[in-house]
Amino acid sequence: MSKPFHFWGGLMVAGVLWGTAVWVSSEAARPGMPPYTKSAMPTFAVQDAAMVLNGARRFGADLAFIQLMQYYGSPEHSDPQVSYPLRKKTHRYSRSDHHKDREDSQSHNEEGHESGHLHLGSEGTADATDQPSAGFPLLGDFALRAGTLDPRFHFAYLFASGALAFNLNRGDDAVQVLEHGIRGDPTYWRYRMYLGAISYRKNQETEKVVATLEEAMKDPDCPSMIKNILAHIHIKKGNLKRAAEIYVDLLESRDPSYSTHAENQLVKLGVIRK
């Protein structure tokens, strides 16, 4: 066969195949993510865009979540210049406080909390009447960033909203994060459960907070942090048996800082021996 025949024949066949492929593409359902329009954190816009352009939005959300965890585990972001309700301080942060905090942090690390979750020991001990902490001002933004990349990354929303509401006493920020999550996946009912718990906490209805968090704990997606908060609330209420049960559950946590903390708490409660 002649060369022109091969050439024009090839072009025609390619055209027909390509046209059919375009038709198939237009007919196909697209269950994937909505278009990515804007990063929730301009500082990370290039990194996020690179993930989108490589078709790795889910992994981009994972990276955003890891960065969230690192941010939340960094003492320098806890912003000690302002009131620090978790430690019941109302005065300005002084140099002597800084040294004391360093010592606290070191002893905390010696207990096995090397991942830097500063609030592990005090999670859930903040009262609703306490002043909101100004620490970790970007925590919500990190969660929104992870959620913008993968709107179905439920864990990032639950983790950040739990930390904001129960550790940093910033219920309004937590609600904002959860509302963003609901927009991304309106069918995920656990967001509404967390909203309920935050609202009860605001109204100081501790029993209802406990009941809601107990319900949330049944979910396999429940962050270890929420379980830890619930255990602390039980300890404050004097319900040591239930707290111990939760700590036993936390021993299985994939986050080593929580499993080590749970072990230490169980030793303190006299459930196990070191």
Partner 1 sequence: MRSLLAIARYTFLQQFRNRLYLVVVLFGLLMMGATLLFGALAGDQEVRVILDLGLVTAELFGLATAVFGAVTLVLEEMESKTIYLILTRPLPRPVYVVGRFAGLFIAVAVSIILMEILHFGLLYFKGWTPDPAVWMALPMMGLKVMVMTALTLLCSLTFTSVPTATVFSILLWVLGHFGNEIRFMGEKAGGAAVTLAAVFCAILPDMTLLNARDMLDYPGFNGSVLGHGFLYAGLYTLACLALSSALFSRKEF
Nearer Cβ to partner 1, position 169 or 253? Answer: 253
The tokens of 7 are what?
Answer: 């050439």
User: Residue 151 CB, nearest distance to partner 1 (Å)?
Assistant: 9
Binding to partner 1 (CB under 8 A): which residues in 187-206? none
Residue 207 binds partner 1 (CB under 8 A): no
Residue 75 binds partner 1 (CB under 8 A): no
Residue 38 binds partner 1 (CB under 8 A): no
113: Cβ contacts below 8 Å, ≥ 6 apart: 120, 121, 257, 260, 261
| Binding pattern for the stretch 248-267 against partner 1, x by CB under 8 A and - elsewhere | -----xxx-xx---------
Cα four-point dihedral sign 56, 59, 65, 66: negative
> Residues 90, 80, 108, 129: what is their CA dihedral angle, to the nearest 10 degrees?
40
Closest CA to 161 of 113, 129, 193: 193
User: Residue 148 CB, nearest distance to partner 1 (Å)?
Assistant: 13
For residue 84, give the DSSP letter: B
The one segment of 31-39, 129-137, 166-174, 265-273 that binds partner 1 by CB under 8 A: 31-39
Closest CA to 231 of 182, 264, 273, 255: 264
Give the binding site for partner 1 (CB under 8 A).
3, 6-11, 13-15, 17-18, 20-22, 24-25, 27-37, 52-59, 62, 65-66, 69-70, 115, 150, 152, 155, 159, 223-224, 253-255, 257-258
